[in-house]
Amino acid sequence: MLSVIIVPYQPLWVQEFNTIAQMLKEALGELALRIDHIGSTSVPGLAAKDIIDVQITVANLVPAEPLEERLAIIGFTRRITVTHDHRPPGDTASPEAAWAKYLFKPPDTHRPANVHIRVDGAANQRYALLFRDYLRAHPGSAAAYAETKRRLAHYLPDNRSAYVLIKDPVCDLIAAAAESWAKTIHWQPPPADF
């Protein structure tokens, strides 16, 4: 199992996202409604694992074959075991399908990335964008989140599963604050990054 290593924010992550997004857009064409830089590498100043998270928004996940075929041409493979995102405790408004996704990885010769494919308007698609925007607007929360990740990586460097299981509830706390903030400012998803 890979070790969990948290590194300081790297300004180069923005350009690396753009390079990946361009490649994905060319491969997927009209299937990609939008492509966004998400996760910790998308938040200026936030420490993170050195893995670029990309969200591709699509109209529908079914059938999977067109997505898989187009991404296979550029060497991206689907992680079949990943079918859903973590669903926050107490979420009763969204059906289970609102948390469905595909996850793709680039070839080993490429820059490490997680390519999350989610449905337009689904709870998990919105969650990723709101979470990112909230942390961008609240540097104190971003700093506390970074410190949580650093401590988890320190105490659980070789247990990625435990790292994620503990980190998810922390993300849920941030997401709850983000939802309150979203109501206050009437947040809507911004224009796509790509």
Q: What is the pLDDT of residues 123-155, one digit of tens each?
A: 999 999 999 999 999 999 999 999 999 999 999
In the chain the beta strands, taken as DSSP E runs, fall at: 34-38, 52-58, 77-78, 102-105, 113-119
CA angle (65 as vertex; 61, 67 as ends), nearest 5 = 65
Q: State the Cα–Cα distance between residues 123 and 87, nearest whole angstrom.
A: 9
CATH code for the part of the protein at 12-185: 3.30.460.10
Please give the mean pLDDT across all residues of the chain.
96
The string of DSSP codes covering 159-190 is -HHHHHHHHHHHHHHHHHHHHHHHHHHT--PP
What pTM did the predictor assign?
Answer: 0.96
